[in-house]
């Protein structure tokens, strides 16, 4: 079996910096860093850590990680596997494949289903964990199977989509973070004569000058989403500190009927009876509202903050490293925003990124 490698393909690295492997560019070092470029290498590294009782941190694109300033006391495993197979409308991606590049290739092939997920940073293996979604699409609508290593049963398993426990920004992989290691993800896309899936997101439809439910050329849909994301600082750019983030830091709250009634009363009290908060059906007895709206209306506007960690100047949902921040600075800002929203509206925001060695 090919020997596991560090970021420079020269053996495992000790006391290795992790900040450069994250889009926040924050966090202390790992006791050990290894890089796996094949599924076999991933499995071998995971088994070795499990057998030794060593803490294990899996890193893909690093776009959803907040690592403590103290670092990680165990082994960080960077999953850099590659492999992209497109057969008709069926797509299989290795976990380490760049997600945004994979979306671009499917669009070039004229296939629909993930075109509105363009520009999302990170790797393919992370998409089922978070049930990645944006602009009216979620990967759960196209994923057919996830191939993973089951750490509990010590074997490779293939999970059908219905066994993945997909829900809003979550899955069984997120619910049981120490059990499965995603190796490959399989998708069923749509050959609709080069047209997109029906547009579900009102902002995208407006930008395209069409009505929700209509289709447009799939390449046009992708390009429009990329422009929308770039305007919000959600497309990675090393020169733009608004993109030194994890994208949306908080998930959109999903409220029960009773919680939503209390919430609307607080909105009326604070902002006036004529102000209506965003509300979207989220299942029986559930309503989803907008975290970005809550943050803004609680007084945390774009660019908020005077320290090294601030709210993005382009989007209130993104907390950013302005270049000299530490994780402690980011968490202090996140707590301030979370607590301010809770005080104003009685809604507690939940962080979307994974917190490693730290908490809110």
Known catalytic membership, residue 352: yes
Query: Is 10 a residue whose pLDDT tops 90?
Result: no
Nearest to 125 by CA among 238, 233, 46, 228: 46
* Res 12: pLDDT: 61
Q: Per mean pLDDT, which range of 4-13, 57-66, 76-85, 159-168 is the poorest?
A: 4-13
- Buried/exposed code over 96-119 (b: 16+ C-beta within 10 A; e: otherwise): bbbbbebbbebbeebbbbbbbbbb
Task: Assign 138 a pLDDT band (cuts: 50, 70, 90).
Answer: very high
Which of 169, 184, 222, 338 is catalytic? The answer is: 169
Known catalytic membership, residue 214: no
* Res 85: pLDDT: 97
* Res 13: pLDDT: 66
Check residue 242 and report its DSSP letter.
Answer: G
* Phi, psi values for residue 175, rounded to 5°: -70, -30
pLDDT in tens, 102-120: 999 999 999 999 999 999 9
Percentage of residues in the chain with pLDDT exceeding 90? 95
* Res 225: pLDDT: 98
* Phi, psi values for residue 170, rounded to 5°: -155, 170
Torsion angle (degrees, nearest 10) of CA 289, 223, 191, 187: -60
What is the β-pairing status of strands 65-67 and 13-16?
unpaired
* Res 6: pLDDT: 44
**Residue 5 near residue 33 (C-beta atoms within 8 A):** no
Which of 123, 245, 248, 312 is catalytic? The answer is: 248
Q: Is 170 exposed, middle or buried (0-12, 13-18, 19+ CB in 10 A)?
A: middle
* Res 8: pLDDT: 40
Which of 92, 97, 115, 352 is catalytic? The answer is: 352
Please give the structure tokens belonging to residue 353.
Answer: 């990124």
pLDDT in tens, 181-219: 999 999 999 998 999 999 999 999 999 999 999 999 999
Domains plus CATH for the chain?
13-79 (3.30.43.10), 84-231 (3.30.465.10), 241-356 (3.90.78.10)
* Res 9: pLDDT: 38
2 vs 296, residue with greater confidence: 296
């Amino acid at each position: 079996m090919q020997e596991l490698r560090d970021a420079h393909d020269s053996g495992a690295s000790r006391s290795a910096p992790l900040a450069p492997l994250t889009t926040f560019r924050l966090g202390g070092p790992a006791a050990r860093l290894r890089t796996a470029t094949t599924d076999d290498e991933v499995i071998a590294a995971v088994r070795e850590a499990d057998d030794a009782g060593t803490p294990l941190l899996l890193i893909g694109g690093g776009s959803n990680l907040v690592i403590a300033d103290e670092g990680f006391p165990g082994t960080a495993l960077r999953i850099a596997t590659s492999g992209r197979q497109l057969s008709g409308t069926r797509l299989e991606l290795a976990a380490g494949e760049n997600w945004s590049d994979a979306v671009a290739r499917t669009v070039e092939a004229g296939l629909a289903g993930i075109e509105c997920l363009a520009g999302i940073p990170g790797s393919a293996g992370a998409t089922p964990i978070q049930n990645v979604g944006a602009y009216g699409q979620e990967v759960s609508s196209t994923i057919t199977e996830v191939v993973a290593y089951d750490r509990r049963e010590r074997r490779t398993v293939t999970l059908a989509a219905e066994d993945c426990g997909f829900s809003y920004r979550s899955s069984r992989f997120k619910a049981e973070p120490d059990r499965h290691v995603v190796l490959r993800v399989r998708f069923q896309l749509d050959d609709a004569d080069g047209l997109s899936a029906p547009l579900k997101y009102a902002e995208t439809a407006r930008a395209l000058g069409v009505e929700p439910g209509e289709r447009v050329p799939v390449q046009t849909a992708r390009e429009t989403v990329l422009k929308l994301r770039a305007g919000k600082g959600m497309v990675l750019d090393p020169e733009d500190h608004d993109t030194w983030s994890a994208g949306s830091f908080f998930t959109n709250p999903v409220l029960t009927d009773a919680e939503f009634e209390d919430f609307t009363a607080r909105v009326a009290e604070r902002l006036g009876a004529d102000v209506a908060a965003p509300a979207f059906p989220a299942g029986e007895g559930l309503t989803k509202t907008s975290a970005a709206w809550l943050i803004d209306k609680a007084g945390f506007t774009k660019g908020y903050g005077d320290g090294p960690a601030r709210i993005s100047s382009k989007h209130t949902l993104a907390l950013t490293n302005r270049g000299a921040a530490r994780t402690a600075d980011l968490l202090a800002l996140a707590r301030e925003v979370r607590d301010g929203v809770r005080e104003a509206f009685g809604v507690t925001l939940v962080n979307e990124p994974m917190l490693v060695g730290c908490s809110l």
